[in-house]
Structure 1
Amino acid sequence: MIDTGDTDTSSNGSSSGNGNGNGGNGRETARPIVSILVALFTGAGISLQQLSTGQPASFARWAMLIGGSLIGGLGGLFAAGLFESLLQWFGQVLGKFRSILRWRALFVGVLCLVALAAGYAVKPAIDSFERWIHGCPRPAGVRVLTSQEQLDAVRQLADAYESATAAANHGCPTAELYVYAARPADARDAIGSGWSNDALGQIGPRPDVWLPDSTADIDAARDAAAKFAVPVPIAEQRIIAASPIVLGVPAAAVPGDLADRREDLTWKQLWDEVTRRGWDVLRPDPSVSGAGALATTVLYDRTHVDGPAARTVEQRIERSLDAGGFPLGDSTELLCRKRAEDPHRAAVLTTEQALVRYNQGLDCGFDQGRPGSEASLVAFYPTDTAGADHPLARLGWDTTAAPSTAAAKDLEGWLGRDEGKRALVRAALRPPPLFDVAEPLTERFGAHAGIAFERRPPPGDLIRTTLQRYAQARRPGRVLLALDVSGSMQTLADGRRTRYEVAASGVGRALDLMSGRDEFGLRVFPADGRGTGSRDIVPLGRADVPISGVPRAKAAIDALGQVRPAGNTPLLPTIADGVRDAAAGKDEQIAGLVVLTDGSDTSGTDPSSVDAQVRGKGVRVFVIAIGEASCGAFALKDITAHTGGACYDADPGAIGDILQDLFGLLWGGEPGNGT
């Protein structure tokens, strides 16, 4: 009995021990698995909470915040209250499936990979669902200011950048670039003055990014800021590309003995060839064009032009502009006119970028296609040429929103990466050195891919000195201003003043730009209340010659104060008569007729007959259309374009600015001497 009891006791003890041993082994085996699960739950919860940093702004972020909190709490619950129960449960399971779980390391690894993959897939899946329900979220808006000459090229870059952000964000762009333009001088003054209300009305909203033609513009803006005693709003700047100043010669006009020397001549040697061969040469106007200012500086400096020599250079350019009826404007306006009609096949002094884009058939707002092989331009690269370096300036206004700032920084970074540099090349710009260029900067489009040049623009002091020399060398103006005084000019323009009063005020501002060498006359139409004809209230004459002892500018302002608008609008006869009278000046003058009107012609004159009368008379016709007037009516665009002028549809508030711009182009010499 004792032996049997001993045996039973031993057996019971052994059975109990085995059971405890199996349970203990199962618990110990399960412990790392449960620990991993707890770590996965807690880590996943923390990760999802981090993804929703800040106040959730969308359904997806609310879902991540709530889901992450629940998962993190569940992990903590497992660790704090259910750990032992889980150990016991897994011990029992492992006891039954011991043979299967011999591969537990592989199982745990697969489980971790599945959890990791799920973690990567959660946000894209939620974002895809949200895009399917609501569409793409609104991208951050970035305002980009550039010059008129760069407008189309920068829009091309903007499209490439927006496409790049969309490709990296499941088809949804993260930024939307609003690209707009201003003349270089206007942009410099606006940024340097802190973007006043005048700049807001004339140009537009404060930009987040400024893409000027060269660092000379940024230096001028800093000088303007010092003058206005305001902080310079430039937060960061960098050079993103460059384009050399070249002479573009029509392919059919390139002589054989120069064809292989396109990169071997200095500017002095090249200009001597231009003079010897009697080539016509065009150049953007330096007063409105960054490319024109840089080209004039390079030409004057490298050919050692002094006062008399500058006049000789300008005479050649002026004759070429007049012969083809070319506008007084920037490189885009000049080359678009050349593409439409240039029987003289003039050479063009401009940037390589403008030349290449001309050969591509770009920048004119309508599809004309590429010019023919004979009309396409071939670039001559003087060995001592300089370039327009193209900077990006990120602006830091106090009111700049954080999303716009982040998007502007991303744009800046993108333009410095290979993808952005390739986009710059496609816009016919050369990124910083050590980046290979390709089409369109190739012989196919008149360029040479491997050219070397000085990438920095001339110093700011040299540019200013050159522009002063240019102002002294350019020919004086002979300008007749014809002002509509029909009854409709009594209509209120701004709630306080009539259209006529606004126009008279704009004329007064523009007269301050006259030099003593300029000639000016003021004419009104209709001549009287019957609504026919026109009459002079200030006859054409030199600005420094008084009228009855009164300075001519003051006499004009006084005469405007005596006019009372009434009658109809004999617009087309006034244009025909004005061109005839303005053409009666000297050869060494630039003649212009500036017409300001608020209505359509009431005379019944055939527009085509007026177009025929004004062509080839050497007088540029400019029309400012306000109110009910339109540049599309009576073929005003054709009449003005065929004379090298232009037609402007304008608000009454913009009259003064347009007149100042026009008279700045037409009048020569130093302003302020005509009173």
Structure 2
Amino acid sequence: MARFDPRGRANRALLVGVGDYDFTRPEHPFGVPGDLPAVEHNLDGLRQALRAGGVFAEDGITVARPRTVDEFDRHLDAAVDAAEGLLLLYFSGHGAVPSTGDELWLLMRRATIVPGTESVFRGAVPWKSVLTVLSRARAERVVVILDCCYAGNASAAWDTLGTAQRQRTSLLMSVQANNRIDAGDGDTPTPFTAHLVRLLRNGEIGFDELADRLRAHMSAHHTTLREPPEPWEPQSRSATSGTDVLLAAPPVRPPGTPPSPPAPPAPPTPFAQPHGAGARRHVPKPGRARAGLRALLRRPGGPGGLVPLTGRRRLAAVIGVPAVIAGLVATGLAVLHGGDGAPCTPPLELRLLTDPDLEPTLRKAAEAYLTSKANGTGDGCRRSGITVYSAGAAATVTAFSRQSDPWQRPTGEDTNPQRDIGPQPDIWIPASFASADRARLTSPERTYVSLEADPEPFAYSPVVLAVPQDLAAEPAAERVGSLAALTEAVRKREARAEVRRTDPENTDAGLLATIGLYGGAGERDPASAERGVAQPGPPARTGAELLCTLPDDDAVDDRTSALVPEFLLKTAVGCDSATRTGRMAEYPVDVPGLSPTFVRVRWKGADRDGEVRDRAVEGFRTWLTGKGGAKTSGPAAPGGLAVFGQDGFRAGSGGHRPLAASDFGALADPGVLPGPALPTAMTDALKRYREANGPGRVLFLLDSSGSMGGLWEGPGGAPGIIAQSLAGLGGQDVYGVWGVAGEPGGSRPYAEVLSFGKHDRQEAQRAIPASAQVKDLEADPYRALVAALGFMAQRGTDDHRPQLIVYVTDDEDDNRLTEDGRLGDLLASVRAGRIPVVMASLDSGGCDKGKPDAAISEASGGRCLDTKGDLVARLRDEVARTGTGDEG
């Protein structure tokens, strides 16, 4: 995996610890459980580990012990404003969640807890607000580490971040959701931070390895304070950019060098106060050399000069290592020297925005360009660096055409392309030539951007039907035809054959596939066409994700064709190569192909380094496309086209011949291939797709039998788990809850806990734990599931809105599923009903192979969840795939 190396940048670490609390129980009725003396050891140990780790300079580490929310906010604002490379936030102290369990709160020193129907935390910081502040940071990567009770509940807010923020934000949580943890004996650090510090001091380590090793150690040696105890399992959310981030790389001492002396105590920051002290202490300003380094690292370009690199940050490669200033070798900077021995100046950075399907190939191309002769200045230095990042295709078109003003100057949270798309690009490479036309302003609105697209695409890839080998046509002539004819032929070979397509909102390929599904002239009913590609949950976001998730179920993989770009049959194979079904490409003549196009993006007022930036863009364009432009110091071709050829692309014009050997299930010459889409066809298909499906329906079954008594109370209890999962549902979704327990032979195996209908989410989250009651009766899951299938089928007769059944149970009564052949009958019913059923087992082995829960979920096309993973987060995700998540 690629790794972002922040060494030598303006990095900041904010270490927040709250060990002493002004109000504690039993002295104060609304106080917190008690002081946490181990926190002070956490701060000391982590500060020393980071200082020795080679990533953070001493003046880049702030230790804070905030008494109030205002103090915490000032510290956080200062760190957010100062960090340009890596921003690390660490918190150790009391964490708390309300009865609904839907939000984590970080308790400051003067915090109190006011009990009620939903507890109120005064003097505490809501985790969601911390994420909001972090979203405006200029830092290229953000890492958050939480060591507190209920830390795992922080994942819910991370999961709802915009795509751009998930791309650059990594979150490490000390324990799984809804669990309290032991803070240790007070004479040493907490168990979690103690091992965290050991790993950081033990050599080079990145975020993903750190999270994996912490999880392995803690789960093997510690348990949580939940009753009964559970293995202590730290959780993590890695930045979705696919690039890890280096957190520590201690410098290697030459042999015979004595160890460095212990680190002196870190000076307090202007806001930090020693315990019991009220006076502020002076903090020395960084020396001129370090200030000069930060100035060198500032990025040129953008309206009026500097533009913060907010939003997505996927580094294609090390973008021209900055020059070293004498005396700063301890910061870990590498040195590039020119031909005369003089250090190179930092290269100009270009920002390249692209379609998510194209991003992996363009990252390879950018890496190749950075070290090529074409990017050299002739004296051993680099002319430019390139940051490659992607964003949803539909959102990108909208941002260019109607949101260039807030893209330059975000004015609020509702419309903020810097957050949702990423930094203002110099180059845009959409996957379809038509998208460049769609993105141009066609109304009299004010615009701050102009798009200069090349007259033709530089590469091509048809959108193909990737058919399992056993179902594919043998003769080449039968592998070409209309999409309807090709899919019908596959269904004749396999009656259960399915077709899936990626998200039309996220990739141009998904939208182009939708054009074919709806018919060339839009003659098919969109709702009917969408039923033909229906699946549990939402469509995959990219073609690679689709091809990599199909092997999760061998039966589905064997019978499912995927509408994806042809080149992915070559590149998207590393995810599950041992078990995946081989696929052959069939070529729909009515699905337009991908036509990557080079677009120069110009921003109004961004002319400070205009000529230099133009030369840098043109140099990359010439190398990438092999067409015209200014001469460079290296050959212009094959350049980027060779990279695209290696990844399975075809020539952008002519007969679209393969750029390299096509030995991956594709036809070298399938005949005349479809051209690019018309802009109007893409716009119309997107509009019809958005109107095709309405809000969702979800029916929750809650096992309320007597055996559930020990799994009932609090946010981690069964009612609380369901209440938390409502985060994925909105005001237009319809849902209800049944309590499953009843008298033997009774007329109904359930009782209504929450009526089936539209609800205010917060009211429903309060109502479910309040209304649900454990009964001294047994559950009959067979009768309850049969009733639920019939109930939901009746409500889906007049439309085709997405539906879901969720059953939360301890599996104590699953023997009633297997008696008298009931399970076979139930499996037949769920297959016929085509309503996904999520079995959420509170038993860690509930989803083991051969268990009824696993069989039911598989037969229905749903998911089986148990406590071996983060059941709460995964259930919330499953529900969100059915619901709208909107409160309107």
- Give the secondary structure class of the aligned counterpart of 1:234: strand
Contact 1:235-1:396 within 8 A present in 2 as well: yes
Q: Residues 221 and 171 (structure 1 numbering): CA distance in 2 closer, same or farther, change over 3 Å?
A: same
Instruction: Tell me how far apart the structure 2 counterparts of residues 300 and 261 of structure 1 sit (CA, whole Å).
Output: 22
Match of 2:365 among 150, 157, 173: 157
Contact 2:338-2:380 within 8 A present in 1 as well: no
Amino acid in structure 2 at the alignment position of 1:281:
V
Match of 1:193 among 399, 403, 428: 403
How far does residue 468 in structure 1 lie from its aligned partner after superposition? 4.2
Deviations for 1:178-212, whole angstroms, at most 9, x for unmatched residues? 11222122222333301136222233322222222
Match of 1:609 among 846, 852, 865: 846
Q: Which residue of 2 aligns with 1:21?
A: none
Matched, 1:585 2:827: no
Instruction: Tell me how far apart the structure 1 counterparts of residues 686 and 736 of structure 2 sit (CA, whole Å).
Output: 27
Q: Which residue of 2 aligns with 1:93?
A: none
Instruction: Tell me how far apart the structure 1 counterparts of residues 485 and 766 of structure 2 sit (CA, whole Å).
Output: 56
Deviations for 1:300-343, whole angstroms, at most 9, x for unmatched residues? 22486432xx544433322xx34xx8954332221111245442
Instruction: Tell me how far apart the structure 2 counterparts of residues 432 and 350 of structure 1 sit (CA, whole Å).
Output: 18
Matches within 5 A, 1:303-318: 305-307=523-525, 310-318=526-534
Contact 1:244-1:387 within 8 A present in 2 as well: yes
Contact 1:537-1:556 within 8 A present in 2 as well: no
Matches within 5 A, 1:280-429: 280-302=498-520, 305-307=523-525, 310-318=526-534, 321-322=535-536, 328-343=540-555, 344-358=558-572, 361-362=573-574, 364=575, 368-369=576-577, 375-397=581-603, 398-399=605-606, 402=609, 403-417=612-626, 418=637, 419-429=639-649
Amino acid in structure 2 at the alignment position of 1:188:
V
Deviations for 1:604-630, whole angstroms, at most 9, x for unmatched residues? 95434257636426475699xxxxxxx
Instruction: Tell me how far apart the structure 2 counterparts of residues 167 and 421 of structure 1 sit (CA, whole Å).
Output: 16
Matches within 5 A, 1:551-566: 552-553=758-759, 555-556=760-761
Deviations for 1:551-595, whole angstroms, at most 9, x for unmatched residues? x35x44555689999xxxxxxxxxx99x97987633755335899
Q: Show structure 2 runs of 5+ residues with no match.
A: 1-291, 293-336, 627-636, 702-711, 717-723, 740-750, 771-780, 808-839
Q: Which residue of 2 aligns with 1:249?
A: 467
Contact 2:460-2:649 within 8 A present in 1 as well: yes
Richer in helix (by share): 1
Amino acid in structure 1 at the alignment position of 2:640:
G
Instruction: Tell me how far apart the structure 2 counterparts of residues 480 and 176 of structure 1 sit (CA, whole Å).
Output: 52
Deviations for 1:474-528, whole angstroms, at most 9, x for unmatched residues? 586224699xx99999xxxxxxxxxxxxx99987xx736x4xxx5335899xxxx
Q: Show structure 1 runs of 5+ residues with no match.
A: 1-56, 58-125, 490-502, 525-534, 542-551, 566-575, 596-602, 624-630, 648-661
Q: Residues 340 and 410 (structure 1 numbering): CA distance in 2 closer, same or farther, change over 3 Å?
A: farther
Match of 1:143 among 348, 351, 366: 351
Q: Which residue of 2 aligns with 1:635?
A: 869
Instruction: Tell me how far apart the structure 1 counterparts of residues 788 and 382 of structure 2 sit (CA, whole Å).
Output: 55
Amino acid in structure 1 at the alignment position of 2:533:
I
Q: Which residue of 1 aligns with 2:183?
A: none
Instruction: Tell me how far apart the structure 1 counterparts of residues 645 and 802 of structure 2 sit (CA, whole Å).
Output: 39
How far does residue 139 in structure 1 lie from its aligned partner after superposition? 2.2
Q: Which residue of 2 aligns with 1:209?
A: 427
Q: Which residue of 2 aligns with 1:178?
A: 387
Contact 1:521-1:540 within 8 A present in 2 as well: yes
Q: Which has the higher contact order (CA 8 A, sep 6+)?
A: 1
- Give the secondary structure class of the aligned counterpart of 1:585: helix
Instruction: Tell me how far apart the structure 1 counterparts of residues 388 and 803 of structure 2 sit (CA, whole Å).
Output: 35
Contact 2:374-2:619 within 8 A present in 1 as well: no
Q: Residues 144 and 240 (structure 1 numbering): CA distance in 2 closer, same or farther, change over 3 Å?
A: same
Contact 2:462-2:593 within 8 A present in 1 as well: yes
Matches within 5 A, 1:14-93: none
Count the aligned residue pairs: 449
- Give the secondary structure class of the aligned counterpart of 2:462: strand
Contact 2:376-2:383 within 8 A present in 1 as well: no
Contact 1:149-1:289 within 8 A present in 2 as well: yes
Matched, 1:459 2:653: no
Matched, 1:273 2:493: no
- Give the secondary structure class of the aligned counterpart of 1:176: strand
Q: Residues 394 and 166 (structure 1 numbering): CA distance in 2 closer, same or farther, change over 3 Å?
A: closer
Amino acid in structure 2 at the alignment position of 1:609:
G
Instruction: Tell me how far apart the structure 1 counterparts of residues 563 and 841 of structure 2 sit (CA, whole Å).
Output: 43
How far does residue 165 in structure 1 lie from its aligned partner after superposition? 4.4
Q: Which residue of 1 aligns with 2:55?
A: none
Q: Residues 592 and 150 (structure 1 numbering): CA distance in 2 closer, same or farther, change over 3 Å?
A: farther
Q: Residues 539 and 619 (structure 1 numbering): CA distance in 2 closer, same or farther, change over 3 Å?
A: farther
Q: Which residue of 2 aligns with 1:95?
A: none
Amino acid in structure 1 at the alignment position of 2:478:
R
Contact 2:476-2:670 within 8 A present in 1 as well: no
Q: Residues 425 and 452 (structure 1 numbering): CA distance in 2 closer, same or farther, change over 3 Å?
A: farther
Q: Which residue of 1 aligns with 2:110?
A: none
Contact 2:506-2:541 within 8 A present in 1 as well: yes
- Give the secondary structure class of the aligned counterpart of 1:387: coil
Instruction: Tell me how far apart the structure 1 counterparts of residues 431 and 544 of structure 2 sit (CA, whole Å).
Output: 14
Instruction: Tell me how far apart the structure 2 counterparts of residues 155 and 130 of structure 1 sit (CA, whole Å).
Output: 30
Contact 1:145-1:210 within 8 A present in 2 as well: yes
Instruction: Tell me how far apart the structure 2 counterparts of residues 637 and 377 of structure 1 sit (CA, whole Å).
Output: 33
Deviations for 1:86-126, whole angstroms, at most 9, x for unmatched residues? xxxxxxxxxxxxxxxxxxxxxxxxxxxxxxxxxxxxxxxx9
Matched, 1:230 2:230: no
Contact 1:267-1:383 within 8 A present in 2 as well: yes
Instruction: Tell me how far apart the structure 2 counterparts of residues 210 and 217 of structure 1 sit (CA, whole Å).
Output: 10
- Give the secondary structure class of the aligned counterpart of 1:153: helix
Task: Report % sequence identity.
Answer: 22
Q: Residues 246 and 519 (structure 1 numbering): CA distance in 2 closer, same or farther, change over 3 Å?
A: same
Instruction: Tell me how far apart the structure 1 counterparts of residues 699 and 613 of structure 2 sit (CA, whole Å).
Output: 47
Deviations for 1:407-458, whole angstroms, at most 9, x for unmatched residues? 2232222222132222222233333325985465514442425743232213
Q: Residues 295 and 520 (structure 1 numbering): CA distance in 2 closer, same or farther, change over 3 Å?
A: same
Matches within 5 A, 1:435-474: 437-438=657-658, 442-449=662-669, 451-460=671-680, 462-471=681-690, 473-474=692-693
Q: Residues 311 and 200 (structure 1 numbering): CA distance in 2 closer, same or farther, change over 3 Å?
A: closer
Contact 1:267-1:385 within 8 A present in 2 as well: yes
How far does residue 667 in structure 1 lie from its aligned partner after superposition? 5.0
Contact 2:592-2:677 within 8 A present in 1 as well: yes
How far does residue 297 in structure 1 lie from its aligned partner after superposition? 0.5
Matches within 5 A, 1:564-575: none
- Give the secondary structure class of the aligned counterpart of 1:129: coil
Q: Residues 421 and 452 (structure 1 numbering): CA distance in 2 closer, same or farther, change over 3 Å?
A: farther
